Amino acid sequence: MGGDLRVAALKKNKMGKLKLRGKDLRAIGYPEGPVISIAMNIMEKNYKFTEQEDVMNLLKQILTSPVEYANDAVLGLIAQQLIPKKEIEGAEISLNNTGISFNIFGGDQIEEGATHQMYQAAKLPIAVAGALMPDAHAGYGLPIGGVLATENAVIPYGVGVDIGCRMCLSVFDIDPKELTQRDHYFTRELNEATLFGAGRQFDESTPHEVLDRKEFDEIPILKALQGRAARQLGSSGSGNHFVEFGKVEITEKDAILGLEPGEYLGLLSHSGSRALGANIAGHYTKIAKQKRRLPGEANNLAWLDLTEEEGIEYWLAMNLAGDYASACHEVIHNKIARQLGRQPLKRVENHHNFAWKEIHEGGEVIVHRKGATPAGKDVLGIIPGSMTAPGYIVKGKGQEASLSSASHGAGRKMSRTAALNALTQDLLKKTLQQHGVKLLGGGLDEAPQAYKDIEAVMQSQRQLIDVVGKFTPRIVKMDGAVPKQWKKPKKEGQDES
């Protein structure tokens, strides 16, 4: 088309040589950038005796349909500047200058590092909405306690390393006084029901349908992890993971929870997807970082698009890891229920470190809850305190302000390294005695003093949830190994709990 125009010579410019101005091109819609000077130079050189009106009309046509001019020997140079560039794998992606707004709950209890990480996440070009929970502290990429909705993209480190980590509570019609009267019996059951410690595996695996899932055959990385996953099914890992007996108190009947007022014996567990989830997180984070480089500290927020093969793979693997984590709790709770000779009256379970497809303001988004409890309307969950502080059975209110989320616990106020350096065994022993708690394993990195005040955290989110029950720990089983990061300290606040 441009060649035809040149052959026809257009109308002769009686005013002399063509002279264009940048503001003329901007006025018809040309974007700020190199394309303006390129277009001016090309048109003034090749259409120098053409009427300006005709030249401007031609420039409008190129702007409207640049693909049609892409192969033109002269005008193609302009058109190529206007055709949207495909994302180049590995090219650095800039953050937005201003991020999306997000709500902060309990801001006076949240460390600066966690808030800074949330502000970074809010500047991602894929970010749609967000919230920060009162138990938040710094992690990798998205802070623990961070909630982020994105458009058709999933961030592996926005989900977290321990994919599908969850709480599970079984409530039994047993007088909780038995925990004191028969503490040796209940201690034995906790010791025999599961394994704690990084890398620990059972000699024999427990059969479960989750191990037969087709994803293990269809996704190469999962196939290599299947055997280990089978031997770790029903184990609990390390860090802040636990299995504990305690007292459940229900003060009034809730239609959703369905338990009569009274005191019950409760079995509460907290753990995730073990090596399966950790390897999935590491593998797909590496791919995401290769595909989308982000500046500085934001590089841990690299994402996968859910229309690309790697994104689809991660989504399937993440969901498998979540179901595997649930199966681990199921195995533990079923073992203990058999030993107790009772079926639970109620089992409440919720997970965090996960991404969900949800509707926000009329459109589908991907909601990452990294250390945040789903709190949709009438959705039940458990928010624990510490090894001595009570936890709470809660019912969500479905508040858009928090993307239907709440805290996943009390939240750390001291990193593991800081706790190990600042606290003493004598202080831990005294605290346990004061609260009547028997600790099996455990360590100073998980001491109650390392955690925020659960009552203050709950107060900060009273608009997000209703409390429908209380759990008070009595016999607590945890891993007792000294964390590796204490032997080789990391930066303060970099605990993935």
Query: For the chain, what percent of residues have pLDDT higher than 90?
Result: 79
Torsion of CA 495, 313, 364, 120, to 10 degrees: 30
Task: Find out whether 48 and 79 touch, Cβ atoms under 8 Å.
Answer: no
Neighbour count for residue 87 (Cβ, 10 Å): 11
Is the overall model pTM greater than 0.85, yes or no?
no
Q: What is the mean pLDDT of each run of 10 residues along the chain (497 residues)?
A: 45 67 90 86 88 93 90 89 69 88 96 95 97 95 96 97 97 98 97 92 94 95 96 94 98 97 98 97 96 92 96 97 98 97 97 97 96 98 98 98 98 92 96 97 95 97 98 96 51 37
Question: What is the location of CATH 3.90.1860.10 in the chain?
Answer: 160-275+287-293+305-348+373-487
Show the beta-strand stretches assigned E in 91-220: 103-104, 127-137, 144-150, 153-154, 166-172
**332 token code pair:** 């533990």
Tell me which amino acid residue 293 is. R
At 17-62, the pLDDT tens digits run 888 988 898 899 988 878 888 899 899 988 988 899 999 999 999 9
Residue 72 pLDDT = 87
Residue 86 pLDDT = 61
Residue 486 pLDDT = 43
Residue 12 pLDDT = 53
SS3 category, 184: helix
Nearest to 178 by CA among 186, 166, 170: 186
CATH topology of domain 160-275+287-293+305-348+373-487: tRNA-splicing ligase RtcB (3.90.1860)
Write down the number of H helices and E strands in the chain. 17, 17
At 154-185, the pLDDT tens digits run 999 999 999 999 999 999 999 999 999 999 99
Residue 22 pLDDT = 87
Residue 1 pLDDT = 45
Tell me which amino acid residue 77 is. L
Residue 36 pLDDT = 87
Q: What is the DSSP string of 274-288?
A: HHHHHHHHHHHHHHH
Task: Find out whether 95 and 124 touch, Cβ atoms under 8 Å.
Answer: yes
Task: Find out whether 168 and 348 touch, Cβ atoms under 8 Å.
Answer: yes
**435 token code pair:** 């609260």
Residue 33 pLDDT = 78
Residue 49 pLDDT = 86
- Helix pair angle (274-291, 309-340), 10° resolution: 170
**Cα angle 135, 140, 141; round to 5:** 95
Residue 140 pLDDT = 87
Residue 483 pLDDT = 62
**106 token code pair:** 């309990």
Max CA pair span of the chain: 107
**33 token code pair:** 């950038």
